[in-house]
């Protein structure tokens, strides 16, 4: 039986305010609070909240047969908690149905997986802790920022215990193969890959309301018909998209919500079900191994990382940011660590994209800047101030070799302290057990007390 796996991404960055060269060293607050609040409230009202209600209604009306998955970045969750707390409540209600799966990702929606495995792992753990705290569900399936994936990334994710990874069904990787099967990474044979069917996903995300599209208008029965007509052996169709597709990229006036609500009705007629990623992993077996030497993503025609690191501006900013990674991890300044998270968000590098192609409007649609060069200048001014603050704690007088030595020493000390704590706990337990045993033995050796004789006084006896 064929099944549809719906997955939505929810992410909003902390956008930077206009930060000038003369602010460096004088102003350590970098964010455009007004713009950030306005944008997330607007998108929540147009998209997130009505989409949540629509999906909850679909779950209930289908008797729990409609299922869906979400990944929500940590930085998005922070903003939703502050500005749209009702979204958190509605998501909790959806999760309680048992028909919604929450996925793992990087807390900062960062590109750390491409350059810094330690940071990558730290962010995954921080994100999953946040998800568990808010929704009581620990993610079991991983999706990286913008579906970025490679053999090396798969190996790291597998080491953390994840059984599945969601990524792009890139044509240059699959070749003649179909994305409508499970695969395994060459570096982690126990992990299963769910690959996005980008054609069917993009029909909704980008073409749904396009009057010039040959298939316009797209109706639910037509769409389900396409899925039903796929080769019989293709058992899963992965439809992955951003959540703001519903109500923002495709406005409510386009009929997007009516289209969504009608899908389960026509799917049931065709014998097509809906499954969460974990359910797909449990039901289906991989058909082949996939090797990805160079990282892929779900962005642009190239399906690579050039949207974030394709020009010298992006590379300069990226390399400068991660040049202080070890120093930031050493410090205990929570404000500095928070800024470190926010500055890693991939959107900052996306705004610096200078590509010129048919889909170039996609880049400008999300950017608060008039040009990539303006985005670069503003970010570098902020980053310069941030690095000044980092160096106040770990100055340039400590070179990298000395810093690495210090880091190793600290890590060794931490490991030694942890080992000593375990030994101390074990010794305390042994001591307590020995005391208990000694007390028991002493009690057993203690002579029995003589029985008191009952003396009956004779009548009249003095």
Classify 271 in phi/psi space as left (phi over 0), alpha (psi -120 to 50) or beta: left
Q: Is 269 a catalytic residue?
A: no
- CA angle 250–253–257, rounded 5-degree value: 65
Residue 433 has, within 13 A of its CA and on its CB side, a CA count of: 6
Q: What sign does the CA torsion over 208, 212, 215, 220 have?
A: positive
Write the secondary structure of 243-273 as one string of H (helix), E (strand) and C (coil): HHHEECCEEHHHCHHHHHHHHHHHHHHCCCE
Q: Rounded distance, CA 332 to CA 325, Å?
A: 13
Q: Rounded distance, CA 89 to CA 360, Å?
A: 36
Q: Is the peptide bond before 217 cis (omega within 30 degrees of 0)?
A: yes
Q: Rounded distance, CA 201 to CA 195, Å?
A: 11
- List Cα–Cα distances, 212 to 63, 159, 186, 216, in angstroms: 37, 47, 41, 7
For residues 287 and 86, is the Cβ–Cβ distance under 8 A? no
Q: What sign does the CA torsion over 107, 113, 117, 121 have?
A: positive
Residues 6 or more apart whose Cβ sits within 8 Å of residue 132: 138
- Buried/exposed 240-265: b ≥16 CB within 10 Å, e otherwise: bbebbbbbbbbeeebbbbebbbbbbe
Instruction: Identify the burial level of 78 via C-beta atoms within 10 angstroms of its C-beta, where 0-12 means exposed, 13-18 middle and 19 or more buried.
Output: middle
- Tokens matching residue 425: 């706990």
Total Cβ atoms within 10 A of residue 26: 8
Q: What is the largest CA-CA distance in the chain?
A: 126
DSSP lists the bridge partners of residue 185 as 290
- Tokens matching residue 241: 């998209």
Name the catalytic one among 146, 168, 235, 248. Answer: 146
> Which residues are catalytically annotated?
146
């Amino acid at each position: 039986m064929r099944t549809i796996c719906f997955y939505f991404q929810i992410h909003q960055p902390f956008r930077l305010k206009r930060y000038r060269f003369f602010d460096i060293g004088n102003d350590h607050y970098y964010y455009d609070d007004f713009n950030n609040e306005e944008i997330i409230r607007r998108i929540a009202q147009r998209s997130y909240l009505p989409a949540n209600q629509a999906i909850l209604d679909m779950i209930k009306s289908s008797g729990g047969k409609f299922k869906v998955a979400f990944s929500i970045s940590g930085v998005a969750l922070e903003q939703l908690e502050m500005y749209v707390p009702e979204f958190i409540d509605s998501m909790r209600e959806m999760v309680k149905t048992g028909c919604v799966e929450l996925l793992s990702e990087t807390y900062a929606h960062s590109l750390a997986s491409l350059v810094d495995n330690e940071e990558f792992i730290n962010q995954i753990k921080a994100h999953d802790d946040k998800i568990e705290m808010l929704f009581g569900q620990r993610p079991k399936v991983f999706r990286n920022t913008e579906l970025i994936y490679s053999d090396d990334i798969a190996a790291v994710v597998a080491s953390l215990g994840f059984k599945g990874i969601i990524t792009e069904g890139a044509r240059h990787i699959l070749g003649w193969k179909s994305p409508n099967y499970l695969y395994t990474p060459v570096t982690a044979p126990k992990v299963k890959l769910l690959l996005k069917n980008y054609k069917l996903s993009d029909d909704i995300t980008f073409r749904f309301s396009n009057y010039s599209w040959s298939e316009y208008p797209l109706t639910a029965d037509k769409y389900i018909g396409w899925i039903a007509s796929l080769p019989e052996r293709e058992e899963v169709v992965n439809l992955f998209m951003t959540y703001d597709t519903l109500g923002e990229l495709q406005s409510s006036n386009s009929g997007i919500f009516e289209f969504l609500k009608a899908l389960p009705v026509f799917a049931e007629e065709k014998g097509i079900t809906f499954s969460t990623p974990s359910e797909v992993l449990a039901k289906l077996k991989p058909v082949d191994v996939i090797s990805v030497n160079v990282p892929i993503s779900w962005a642009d025609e190239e399906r690579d990382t050039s949207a974030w690191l394709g020009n010298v501006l992006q590379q300069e900013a990226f390399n400068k940011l991660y040049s202080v990674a070890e120093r930031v991890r050493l410090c205990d300044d929570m404000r500095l660590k928070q800024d470190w998270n926010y500055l890693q968000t991939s959107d900052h590098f996306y705004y610096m994209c200078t590509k010129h192609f048919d889909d170039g409007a996609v880049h400008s649609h999300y950017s608060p800047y008039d040009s990539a060069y303006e985005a670069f200048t503003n970010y570098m001014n902020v980053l310069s101030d941030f690095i000044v603050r980092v160096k106040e704690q770990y100055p340039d007088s400590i070179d990298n070799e000395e810093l690495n030595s210090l880091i190793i020493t600290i890590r060794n000390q931490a490991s030694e302290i942890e080992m000593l704590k375990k030994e101390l706990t074990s010794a305390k337990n042994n001591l307590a057990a020995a005391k208990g045993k000694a007390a028991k033995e002493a009690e057993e050796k203690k002579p029995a007390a003589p029985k008191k004789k009952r003396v009956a006084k004779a009548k009249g006896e003095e």
